[in-house]
Amino acid sequence: MGSQTTPHKYSKEYLEHLLNADRNAAANLVFEAIDNGVGIKDIYMDIFQASQHEVGRLWQNNEISVAQEHFCSAATQMIMSQLYPKIFNSEKNGLRLVATCVGGELHEIGLRMVTDFFEMEGWDTYYLGANTPIESILSTIETYKADVLAISTSMTFHIEKTRALIKEIKDSDVGKDTLILVGGRPFNLAQDLWKKVNADAFASDAMQAISVMEKQLSVN
């Protein structure tokens, strides 16, 4: 990592603030980390992403309620939004990303992190979030001439919807040349699942998503 202060020392305390429903303390901790030289990408990976993974594990093990899980996600998204002035000022590289969740998905924070990473790398990004109709996805791809469509799927029972969405996009005149990147828990668990839904690439996290797509597009 490029920063002098490791973000890992903040990660546990950040999670404790979230579980105590103290979003202000969590936000202040993040700003303290930035003041101490921790980079934005490190904060995303080692504080935001790490805490979300642990929140998900606690929820699946019935150690926290769904209300707590929702609060933690909403608080982290709020804090992320406060960092946007530091993110949306990168020199542009001419590449464009559209990002969406497959229909029915409500867990969108991972996709938001991926989108922000692309923005930090100079991409123009268009974040559509959850429950976006296929017509709107295709319209956005066409309007902004997207190089990549990122699709997030967090629930295994939505895999068939993901496959159907990808087929519809690839069969269209608008989306046939757009590279499709998928991610989310089902793809992390099954190594070749991304190939079975006919995506062009898979990434396990935001950092990998950048390197995978830049390699596909041969970005220097």
pLDDT tens-digit map of 24-82: 999 999 999 999 999 999 999 999 999 998 998 999 899 999 999 999 999 999 999 99
DSSP 10-31: HHHHHHHHHHTT-HHHHHHHHH
Q: What is the residue whose two structure tokens read 């559209």?
A: 98
Q: What is the pLDDT of residue 139?
A: 96
- CATH 3.90.550.10 holds for 8-87: no
At 27 the pLDDT is 97
Tokens matching residue 136: 């709107």
Each residue's pLDDT tens digit, 88-143: 877 899 999 999 998 766 678 889 999 999 999 999 999 998 888 899 999 999 99
pTM: 0.89
Q: Is 148 exposed, middle or buried (0-12, 13-18, 19+ CB in 10 A)?
A: buried
Q: Residue ranges per domain, the chain?
A: 8-87, 96-216
Select from 105, 96, 154 the least CA-distant residue to 127: 96
The per-residue pLDDT for 4 is 45
Report pLDDT for 132.
87
Distance from C-alpha of 196 to C-alpha of 163, rounded to nearest angstrom:
8
- Give the residue ranges of DSSP H helices in the chain: 8-19, 23-35, 40-43, 50-60, 66-82, 84-87, 109-120, 134-144, 159-171, 185-189, 193-196, 206-216
Of 148, 156, 141, 137, residue with least CA distance to 196: 156
Closest to 31 (Cα-Cα) out of 18, 20, 47, 19: 47
Residue 105 has what pLDDT?
Answer: 67
pLDDT at 120: 93
pLDDT for position 102: 86
Tokens of 106: 């409500």
Per the DSSP assignment, residues forming a β-bridge with 101 are 152
* CA atoms 204, 210, 213, 216: torsion sign: negative
2 has pLDDT over 90: no
**Per-residue pLDDT at 170 exceeds 60:** yes
CATH superfamily of the domain spanning 96-216: Cobalamin-binding domain (3.40.50.280)
CA distance 180 to 6: 34
Residues 148, 95: contact at Cβ < 8 Å?
yes
> Above 70 in pLDDT, residue 184?
yes
